[in-house]
Chain A
């Protein structure tokens, strides 16, 4: 899989001036594990405080006092918790897209980003997975989600999308976590070979005795392709299943056939934005400028632009079809979205996801890292509001006017929402210090191999 020098230059995958030898990659990437700068400690302190608030609001207020402390009431039974669940599952998606789908398509720019993106996936699913547990209120009954029969041997209803969701999310978490760990093994071994003391012991244990022998690489390479091939349809299925939690019902605003592709595109859109949001400070803090160049950001920005267009098209077609259907209820529901009580949520969604990304058409914006960072913050906000609009606004305005009602998130819900970002950041920050944040071995695959004689290896056959 090693590539000729010419090809690397042409593909522009690695254009670093001070990167000549294979072990230069180890030098640069493993440095991140050694020196926690001031910036890292400040971020970590903020995240750890947030985790404290998050766990406090959940375990000391939400759990003992019950679901009443949330603003949830009839008719809006799904609020910030479910919105945030869908948001985090969506964030997870682009990690698998970059690591698996772009791997199968051999996209030359994925190598330096995919490790961080994959870590993001794992931690985002971890965060998302907490929200059904928070939302059910009675945490001690959470094991009811596991499909097993009740005391009269009645099994759960496998025709229910909520049961599909359990299968989809648990499979997604298991597969993405294993995929992430397997990809890390050779790099953990690289960290082990440079570490000393307690760290060496730790890496020795989790490197599973990897030494980079021919048979290890051979089976690793083959297994990796198959894992990628399995993860690719999985990632598309997961957000489709999440969308069916809504689309299978008859709530106006939910009952649409475009939900699956619309959700998947939105997931990738928000996920790419989150990758950029995370990678920009990571690059700065760990001095990885040589590995994450404007080329990488440009490629991600283009992907973000594409998915933004798909998402915006989906918004417009929803409005169009509501009008075109001639269905009074449907028309009212969508009119209510943009001009009803929650008009501001919809306009935040339309502005952040449809209008702000228009700037990405300009090369100068795509090549400016501060500009990209700001745009991705808008997109993150916009995509959270998209889910808020779908979940809350649709439920607040169903069929009968006497059953309409408003929902206002409580302080507890907002604390848990903001705390979830800290919880996610907490794990991501730990990851950047404990595991090589850039895939060492995959970068070497695209580097020209060291040769004693200046001749092509292809002659060897």
Chain B
């Protein structure tokens, strides 16, 4: 079942697969032919990530920077407020580091977690108010998908490669918002 609605320029092609190995074979063949495929999966699959050549996500940098910022803030804030109005409470030192470590720790976790989320959102482009138009609702259920942008002869090549792995469904149309 294929619907060709594309114009001559910038056409995308999306294949839905039932099997993981077909998906990976398609991705690898497309990469070999110089395409830059995009994959859909119902769960995080490391085989797909591996086939697409993913390394480590830069999310880790967001966590680290957020955590360090939080820790620095969590320590500096009580220190500064104690020094701002020096007041002896319960005979303890004005600037008493051990209790401040608790604030430091909590702020580290808070900032680190929030910054991880922000980083993840920015990197994976969510919230995405204009999601991909070429999308199969079965991708969240049990199907895998492979999408490529191509035109002209390249489109034919991509179609041939995708078809070779026997997709359940092959659709062509306007490019996605990526």
B3-11, B120-128, B150-158 - the one binding chain A: B120-128
Which residue of chain A lies nearest to B81 when distances are taken between CB atoms in the complex? A155
Which residue of chain B lies nearest to A461 when distances are taken between CB atoms in the complex? B50
- Cβ-defined contact, A215 with B124, below 8 A: yes
Which chain A residues in 1-60 approach chain B with CB under 8 Å? 1-2, 21-24, 26
- Cβ-defined contact, B140 with A208, below 8 A: no
Which residue of chain A lies nearest to B94 when distances are taken between CB atoms in the complex? A159
Contact (A167, B102) CB under 8 Å given A212-B40, A215-B124: yes
- Cβ-defined contact, A171 with B129, below 8 A: no
**Could you tell me the distance in whole angstroms from the C-beta of B68 to the nearest C-beta in chain A?**
13
**Could you tell me the distance in whole angstroms from the C-beta of B80 to the nearest C-beta in chain A?**
9
A77-85, A225-233, A278-286, A304-312 - the one binding chain B: A225-233
- Chain B residues whose CB sits within 8 angstroms of the CB of A186 once the complex forms: 43, 140
Contact (A164, B142) CB under 8 Å given A208-B128, A216-B126, A222-B60: no
**Could you tell me the distance in whole angstroms from the C-beta of A219 to the nearest C-beta in chain B?**
4
- Cβ-defined contact, A231 with B20, below 8 A: no
Most buried by A among B51, B109, B139, B141: B109
- Cβ-defined contact, A158 with B99, below 8 A: yes
- Chain B residues whose CB sits within 8 angstroms of the CB of A87 once the complex forms: none
Q: A445 contacts which of B44, B81, B126, B131 (Cβ < 8 Å)? A: B44
Is A179 in the interface zone, CB < 8 Å from B?
A: yes
Which chain B residues in 82-141 approach chain A with CB under 8 Å? 82, 84-85, 87, 89-90, 92, 96, 99-100, 102-103, 105-107, 109-110, 112-114, 116-117, 119-120, 123-132, 135, 137-141
- Cβ-defined contact, A218 with B40, below 8 A: no
- Cβ-defined contact, A178 with B114, below 8 A: yes
**Could you tell me the distance in whole angstroms from the C-beta of B63 to the nearest C-beta in chain A?**
4
- Cβ-defined contact, B117 with A452, below 8 A: no
Is A325 in the interface zone, CB < 8 Å from B?
A: no
Question: Bound complex: CA of A376 vs CA of B19, how far in Å?
Answer: 43
- Cβ-defined contact, A178 with B38, below 8 A: no
A119-127, A188-196, A336-344, A367-375 - the one binding chain B: A188-196
Question: Bound complex: CA of A228 vs CA of B57, how far in Å?
Answer: 16
- Chain B residues whose CB sits within 8 angstroms of the CB of A189 once the complex forms: 140
Which chain B residues in 21-56 approach chain A with CB under 8 Å? 21-22, 24, 28, 38-52, 54, 56
- Cβ-defined contact, B90 with A159, below 8 A: yes
Q: B63 contacts which of A21, A212, A230 (Cβ < 8 Å)? A: A230
- Chain A residues whose CB sits within 8 angstroms of the CB of B169 once the complex forms: none
**Could you tell me the distance in whole angstroms from the C-beta of A226 to the nearest C-beta in chain B?**
4
- Cβ-defined contact, B124 with A220, below 8 A: yes
Is A241 in the interface zone, CB < 8 Å from B?
A: yes
Is A106 in the interface zone, CB < 8 Å from B?
A: no
Q: B44 contacts which of A194, A220, A457 (Cβ < 8 Å)? A: A220
- Cβ-defined contact, A214 with B38, below 8 A: yes
| Number of inter-chain CB pairs below 8 Å | 227
Question: Bound complex: CA of A173 vs CA of B50, how far in Å?
Answer: 35
- Cβ-defined contact, B127 with A208, below 8 A: yes
- Chain A residues whose CB sits within 8 angstroms of the CB of B84 once the complex forms: 153, 155
**Could you tell me the distance in whole angstroms from the C-beta of B20 to the nearest C-beta in chain A?**
4
Question: Bound complex: CA of A17 vs CA of B105, how far in Å?
Answer: 47
- Cβ-defined contact, A22 with B42, below 8 A: yes
Does more than half of chain A's interface fall in helix, strand or loop, or is it mixed?
Answer: helix
Is B67 in the interface zone, CB < 8 Å from A?
A: yes
Contact (A158, B116) CB under 8 Å given A2-B43, A209-B129: no
Is A213 in the interface zone, CB < 8 Å from B?
A: yes
**Could you tell me the distance in whole angstroms from the C-beta of A251 to the nearest C-beta in chain B?**
15
- Cβ-defined contact, B19 with A26, below 8 A: no
Which residue of chain A lies nearest to B127 when distances are taken between CB atoms in the complex? A208
Question: Bound complex: CA of A444 vs CA of B44, how far in Å?
Answer: 9
**Could you tell me the distance in whole angstroms from the C-beta of B146 to the nearest C-beta in chain A?**
10
Question: Bound complex: CA of A444 vs CA of B139, how far in Å?
Answer: 12
- Chain B residues whose CB sits within 8 angstroms of the CB of A193 once the complex forms: 137-141
- Cβ-defined contact, A212 with B113, below 8 A: no
Contact (A223, B44) CB under 8 Å given A22-B141, A175-B113, A215-B124: no
**Could you tell me the distance in whole angstroms from the C-beta of B137 to the nearest C-beta in chain A?**
4
Q: A178 contacts which of B24, B81, B113 (Cβ < 8 Å)? A: B113
Which residue of chain B lies nearest to A455 when distances are taken between CB atoms in the complex? B21
- Chain B residues whose CB sits within 8 angstroms of the CB of A155 once the complex forms: 81-82, 84-85
- Chain A residues whose CB sits within 8 angstroms of the CB of B143 once the complex forms: 23
Is B174 in the interface zone, CB < 8 Å from A?
A: no
- Chain B residues whose CB sits within 8 angstroms of the CB of A208 once the complex forms: 126-128
- Chain A residues whose CB sits within 8 angstroms of the CB of B119 once the complex forms: 219, 223
Most buried by A among B40, B41, B50, B100: B41
Most buried by A among B21, B54, B63: B21
Q: Which residues of B contact A (CB under 8 A)?
A: 18-22, 24, 28, 38-52, 54, 56-57, 59-60, 63, 67, 78, 81-82, 84-85, 87, 89-90, 92, 96, 99-100, 102-103, 105-107, 109-110, 112-114, 116-117, 119-120, 123-132, 135, 137-143, 166
Q: Which residues of A contact B (CB under 8 A)?
A: 1-2, 21-24, 26, 149, 153-159, 163-164, 167-168, 170-171, 174-175, 178-179, 182, 185-186, 189-190, 192-194, 208-223, 226-227, 230-231, 233-234, 237, 241, 441-442, 444-445, 449-453, 455, 457, 460-461
